[in-house]
Structure 1
Amino acid sequence: MTTVTAVAGGIVCALLIVFVAVLAATYNRLVRLRNQADASWSQIDVQLKRRYDLVPNLVETVRGYAAHERGTLDAVVAARGNAMAAAQGANLAGRAEAEGELTAALGRLFAVAEAYPDLKANHSFVALQAELANTEDKIAYARQFFTSAVQSYNNAVQTLPTNIVAALTGFRTREYYQAAGDERGPVQVRF
C-alpha cells in the first residue's frame, strides 16, 4: 500500500507542477500581449504628437499667403487643440473623434491652399505638406499595428483555456481604435 500511495502522491505532485507551469506560461503570454498592445498604442501617440507639432508651422505658412482665410485657419488650430485635449484623458472613441476633426480641418486647409499658386510653390509649405503626409502614413501604419496587437490580445483573453486565466487575473478585452468617418477614406472635395 505504501508504494501505491507514493506513486499516487508522485502523480498528483507531477500534475500540480504541470498545472502551475501551464498557468504561469499562460499568464506570461497574456502579459506579453498586453505589453505589445501598450507599446503599439505608444507608437500611435508619438506620431500624433509629431502631427500636433507640425500643424502650427503649417498654419503660420498658410497665414502669410491666405490671411483672409481666417475661419479655416482658426478651425485647424481649434481642432488641434481639441485633439491634444482628448489625448490627455478621453477614451479611445473620444480621441478618435477629435483626431477625425483634425484630419478634416487639415483637408479643408489643403483645399484652400489649392487656390493660392504662390503658396503651393513655397518651399516651406511644400516641405511641411510632405512631412505631414509622411506622418499620416506613419500614423496609419501604427494604427494597423495597434489593431493587430489588440486583436491578438483579445483573442487570447477570449479563448479557452487562456480566458480562464485572464478572468482569474483581471485581464479584460481592449477597445479597438475606430477611425472617424473622415479618416476611413479619401476626403471628397466638392465645388
Structure 2
Amino acid sequence: MDLLTSIILSVIILISIMVLITVIWWIMTSNNFKRTSIKISEALSGIEVALTKRYDMLTKLLDVAKGYTSHEKTLFMETITLRKGMSVSEINDADNQINTMASRINAIAEAYPELRSSDVFCELQAGIRDAEEHLQAARRLYNSIVTQYNTTMAVFPSSIVANFQKLTPVDFFKTEEWKKADVKIQF
C-alpha cells in the first residue's frame, strides 16, 4: 500500500467514525427527549389523579354539609369536569374551579358549627389536606421535569435535534395570582 492510499483510507475511517459518533449522539438525544416527554405525561397524570382525589373528597364533604341545596351541588358538578387529555391550562382552570368549590364549602361549614365538629367532616378535611399535599408534590415534580425538558431543548447542541424535530417548550403549572400576593397581617 502506498502512502496516498493509506492517507485516504485513514481519512475515510476517521470520517466514518465521526459520522457514527454523530448518529449515535443524535439517537441518544432524540431518545432523551422522548423519555422526558413520557415523564412529563406521567407527571401530568399524577396531577390529574391528585385533582380527582381532591375533587372526590370535596364532593363527599359537600354531601355532608347540612342545608346545602342540591341545585348548588349540581352546579358544581357541571362546572368542574375533570377529563383525561386536558391541557395544562385546562387543568389549571379546573383546579381554580375546585378551589372556588372548597372556599364555598368552608363558608357553609362556618355557618354550621355542629358540622365542623362532625367526625366525618373532620376526616374528609384531613383527606383534602392530604390530597392538597399530593397535588403540590405532583406539581413540583411536573415543573421539575418540564424545566429539565425545556432546558435541554434550549441548550446547544441538543437544540439542533429539538429544532429539527420541531419540539416546542412545555408550559409550567402556574400559581394563581392571588396566591402570590403578600399576606398582610394586622393586629
Fold agreement, TM-score > 0.5: yes
Match status 1:54 vs 2:51 = no
| Aligned counterpart, 1:70 | 69
Match of 2:88 in 1: 92
- Per-residue deviation, 1:183: 5.5
Superposed structure 1 runs of 4+ greater than 6 Å apart: 185-188
**Shift of the alpha carbon at 1:187?**
9.9
Q: Percent identity?
A: 22
After superposition, the C-alpha distances for 1:145-167 in whole angstroms (9 at most, x for unaligned) are 11111111111111111111012
Shift of 1:182: 5.2
How far apart are the structure 2 equivalents of 1:102 and 1:38?
A: 22
Question: Contact (CA 8 Å) 1:100, 1:183: kept in 2 or not?
Answer: no
- TM-score when normalising by structure 2: 0.85
User: Are 1:9 and 2:9 an aligned pair?
Assistant: no
Ranges in structure 1 where 5+ consecutive residues have no aligned partner? none
Letter in 2 for 1:57: K
**C-alpha distance in structure 2 between counterparts of 1:2 and 1:187, whole Å:** 78
* Number of residue equivalences: 181
Please report the TM-score for the alignment, with normalisation by the length of structure 1. Answer: 0.83
Of 40, 43, 49, 1:40 maps to 43
| Structure 2 CA distance for partners of 1:142 and 1:56, relative to 1, 3 Å | same
Measure the CA separation in 2 of the matches of 1:9 and 1:131.
67
SS in 1 for 2:63: helix
Matches of 2:84 and 2:79, distance apart in 1: 10
**What corresponds to 2:169 in structure 1?**
173
Structure 2 distance, partners of 1:97, 1:163, is 31
Aligned partners of 2:55 and 2:98 also within 8 Å:
no
Q: CA deviation at 1:185?
A: 7.1
CA–CA distance in structure 2, aligned partners of residues 143 and 185 of structure 1: 20
RMSD of aligned residue pairs (Cα, Å): 2.5
Question: 1:23 — aligned with what?
Answer: 26
CA distance in 2, matches of 1:183, 1:81: 25
